[in-house]
């Protein structure tokens, strides 16, 4: 493990390469090996649905940690739902990248519509994943925030802000692959960032790090979460939205 950027731990042998993971499960194996013996005993894995859940399941399984979901949704462009310029997190936290807003020429009405759509997505997923139980109050635990990759970083920035609002003791980000610029920006806001496969360039796709890539159906992600044996069942819950 090496440090290519301040606060970012990566694997130099995987740096700038494509197709380094067989699938999300393999990516989780690699991340678990990076995180082994570096996390405190109170750590909890928080996976961002849907793509981050299979990665988080593997990390939590191999490190014997509890697993929960951190629900957040990108605010996407009106003409391209794959590109996000902000995000909404589970507690209503909204993060918008003003530089991207200016670049794409978005007006206030477009931002409001996109934010409302992301908020509805978050509320819907919270109901499906946690129902009447509400989402767990993490207290002073260390949160290990997991996704299947880091492109613009919009969703992660909203997730980090929401965790700060909860008063967690520490935040560690674990992503199998990520753009070096986004990783460097995010690392300045968390305690540690682990990214096995750092890449650069003007064109970046998370999928390019995987040999076998398919979208993770929401139903499958929820099944994985509900079936995981180590949850925070003994923790207090916030009221559902």
Expressed in angstroms, the distance from the first to the final Cα of the chain is: 41
Instruction: Quote the CA–CA distance of 146 and 72 in Å, as a whole number.
Output: 12
Q: What is the dihedral of CA 192, 122, 120, 189, to 10 degrees?
A: -10
In this predicted model, what pLDDT tens digit does every residue of 4-25 receive, in sequence order? Answer: 788 999 999 999 999 999 999 9
Report pTM: 0.92
In this predicted model, what pLDDT tens digit does every residue of 59-87 receive, in sequence order? Answer: 999 999 999 999 999 999 999 877 889 99
Q: Which of these, 54, 28, 3, 45, lies nearest to 141 by C-alpha position?
A: 45
Q: Which of these, 39, 85, 81, 78, lies nearest to 62 by C-alpha position?
A: 39
- Is domain 2-72+138-227 classified as CATH 3.40.50.2020? yes
Sequence-ordered list of residues with C-beta below 8 angstroms from that of 47, at least 6 positions apart, any chain: 53, 55, 56, 57, 67, 68, 69, 70, 146, 147, 225
- Identify the pLDDT of residue 233: 61
Instruction: Quote the CA–CA distance of 20 and 233 in Å, as a whole number.
Output: 36
In this predicted model, what pLDDT tens digit does every residue of 155-214 receive, in sequence order? Answer: 999 999 999 999 999 999 999 999 999 999 999 999 999 999 999 988 899 999 999 999
Hey, which residues does 69 pair with through a beta bridge?
A: 47
Q: Please report which confidence band the pLDDT of residue 129 belongs to, taking 50, 70 and 90 as the band edges.
A: very high
């Amino acid at each position: 493990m090496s440090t290519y950027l301040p606060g970012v731990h990566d694997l130099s042998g995987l740096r700038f390469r494509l197709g380094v993971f067989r699938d999300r499960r393999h990516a989780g194996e690699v991340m678990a090996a990076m995180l082994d013996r570096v996390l405190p005993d109170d750590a909890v894995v928080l996976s961002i649905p849907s793509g981050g859940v299979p990665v988080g399941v593997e990390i939590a399984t191999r490190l014997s940690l509890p697993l929960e979901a951190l629900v957040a949704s990108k605010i996407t462009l009106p003409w391209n739902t794959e590109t996000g310029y902000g995000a909404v997190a589970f507690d209503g936290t909204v993060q918008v990248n003003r530089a991207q807003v200016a670049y794409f020429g978005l007006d206030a009405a477009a931002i409001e519509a996109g934010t409302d759509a992301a908020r509805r997505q978050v509320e819907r997923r919270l109901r499906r994943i946690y129902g009447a139980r509400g989402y767990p109050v993490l207290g002073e635990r260390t949160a290990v925030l997991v996704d299947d990759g880091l492109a613009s970083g919009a969703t992660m920035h909203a997730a980090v802000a929401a965790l700060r609002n909860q008063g967690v003791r520490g935040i560690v980000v674990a992503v199998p692959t990520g753009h070096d610029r986004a990783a460097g920006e995010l690392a300045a806001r968390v305690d540690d960032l682990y990214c096995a496969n750092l890449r650069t360039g003007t064109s970046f796709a998370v999928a390019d790090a995987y040999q076998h890539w398919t979208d993770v159906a929401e139903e499958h992600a929820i099944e994985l979460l509900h079936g995981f044996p180590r949850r925070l069942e003994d923790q207090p819950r916030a009221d559902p939205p």
